[in-house]
Amino acid sequence: MSGAKSVAPENRTVIGLTFGNSNSSIAYTVDDKAEVIANEDGDRQIPTILSYVDGDEYYGQQAKAFLIRNPNNTVAYFRDFLGKDFEHIDPTHNHASAHPKDVDGAVSFTIKDKAEEDAEPSTVSVSEVATRYLRRLVGSASDYLGKKVTSAVITVPTNFSDKQKAALLAAANAADLEVLQLISEPVAAALAYDARPEAQVEDKIVVVAELGGTRSDVAVIASRQGMYTVLATAHDYEFNGVALDKILMDHFAKEFLKRNPSAKDPRENARGLAKLKFEAEATKRALSIGANASFSVESLSDGIDFASTINRLRYETLSRTVFEGINRLVESVIKKAGLDVLDVDEVILSGGTAHTPRIASNFSNIFPQTTRILAPSTNPYAINPSELGARGAALQASLIQDYEADDIDQSTHAAVTTVAHISNAIGVISLNAAGEEIFVPVVPAETAVPAKRTVHVAAPKDGGDVLVKFVEGNTHIKVTKPEPKPKEDKTAKVEDAADSDEESDFSDDEEEEEEKREKVWKIGNTLAEAAIRNVKKGGKVEVTVQVNADLSVILTTREVGAQGGVRGQLNA
């Protein structure tokens, strides 16, 4: 970050920011608790939009309202264009607002941002748009806090390129904002959950589904004692919040035309389309809370007002393709990480679209019951998905605000980017009650190194000499097919079914009995063996595995409560 704006730690006031294509949020930490703060309009989700009317600049919700009356001087959906050449951007979402233009390869917008009637329109680069927008966000934060905000941690998608990050840093610096750190969106969401006082910091595999307006990003993260390693990511630009708006827009436009056969299609006129979109989004949000929602637009087309309602079931049926697309995205990224749904301990739903109850309930069907699905509709303790990113960013900001800018760069990068990690678990072999050899993990797979873990393993009941075998372990999924039913039995059931409806349901259930899938450990390579003599009756053996940064391993074992022990080192 050399050359970037830096502020002395004692002079900083820090915030956490999310800066999305659709919305942005500001959070601030008080007494180790992060809170999302409202801007002067009272909004916590602030539309990432700027609009110019008679030389006045509007931002957020006020700018969004101008998409209907002043679309050409309103700039929306621009964050992803930062640091990109014109030929590599996707302008799909800009059709109803200022269009991006190619100015010597740089993405720019032509807007009338001056007061004078006869002033020439200005051509403003996307970097300048971002700077103006961030200045407004920081201004709102400073007003709220009553002091000038100097610095921020900002979240970015996991596939933001170095060039995009550099462009974002430059845009923030030009808005007089020091960027303490850019952290990835899924890690910010995981941090927001793990920082709760009641959270148990445990080793776990977390899937973060970041579902926004223009994109859906999913990441698989290994969380190992507060260190996060991103194992795999997937990105989609088709199954998103805007697609859900479009489904409702088409639904109501068709209903309008059915009721008014001679009226013009509201989708064929820019203002009609903008009105449809505005109201469709509001209806969609209402359907996340209630079983029914209304839709009403004044003068939708040919001066005709329109009002209707829709229930959630109908909406969910219409939106099936989008929901299924999101399911597939989640399944694909777990596969990409080389894992199975049974390996996932927690699914965090983040982003505005994550409020949709059906998306969360679909996830409950994909994952086993033991996986925590953290969404408002499935878990009463879930954090508002729209606030996770900003909260995580604010927590990170408060953790690092006392460091000099140069130190932050070096000391915190590893914690939130990919660091060396072990791919197999390391553990020991023990015997279960039935006397079978089982694997007891000491350091789980995907643990970032260096790492040191200790476990206690029961020695054989009668004590004596114990051989501790250090091995690598892998999980695999054991599938047990239900026993095929004897033939005559089946015939009997079919006959019974003909007699009684109830029984027919019952027999159907039985036939559809699902195969059983469970995660089991497979014992891999033996790393070392150590003998401990004369362990007392009912004694325990302590086993410690330390994996160094160069992936060399130190193994130690001793009887709990006894002197001495055995130690060995393996080179990487």
Name the residues that contact ligand ATP, by CB under 6 A: 20-23, 45, 212-215, 241-242, 281, 284-285, 288, 351-353, 355-356, 386
Q: How many residues does the chain have?
A: 572
CA distance 211 to 294: 24
> How far lies 251's CA from each of 245, 296, 368, in Å?
10, 13, 35
In the three-class reduction of DSSP (H, G, I as helix; E, B as strand; rest coil), residue 263 is classed as: coil
Give the span between the Cα atoms of 445 and 425, in whole angstroms.
4
Least spacing, CB of residue 72 vs ligand ATP, in Å: 21
Peptide bond into 450 cis (omega under 30): yes
Shortest Cβ distance from residue 71 to ligand ATP (Å)? Answer: 18
> What percent of the chain is helix, strand and coil (3-state, nearest 5)?
35, 35, 30
Q: Which burial class, exposed, middle or buried, applies to 197 when counting CB atoms under 10 A from its CB (0-12, 13-18, 19+)? A: exposed
How many Å apart are CA 542 and CA 323, to the nearest integer?
Answer: 48
The three-state DSSP-derived secondary structure of 393-420 is HHHHHHHHCCCCHHHHHHHHHHHHCCCC
DSSP assignment string, 34-95 = EEEE--TTS-SSEES-EEEETTEEEETHHHHHHHHH-GGGEE-S-GGGTT-BGGG---GGGT
What is the edge-to-edge ordering of all strands in the sheet holding 204-211?
227-236, 216-224, 204-211, 346-350, 372-374
> What letter does residue 379 receive in the DSSP assignment?
-
Give the distance from CA 91 to its chain's centroid.
Answer: 24
Any idea which residue has 């942005």 for tokens?
A: 24
| Nearest distance from C-beta of residue 241 to ligand ATP, angstroms | 2
| 243, 211 contact by CB (below 8 A) | no
Q: By three-state DSSP, how is residue 555 classified?
A: strand
Q: Are strands 204-211 and 216-224 parallel, antiparallel or unpaired?
A: antiparallel
| CB 220 to ligand ATP: min, Å | 19
Q: Residue 222's beta-bridge partner residues? A: 205, 229
Return d(Cα 57, Cα 63) in angstroms, integer.
8
Within 8 A by CB and 6+ apart from 28, the residues are: 15, 16, 34, 35, 37, 141, 144, 145, 394
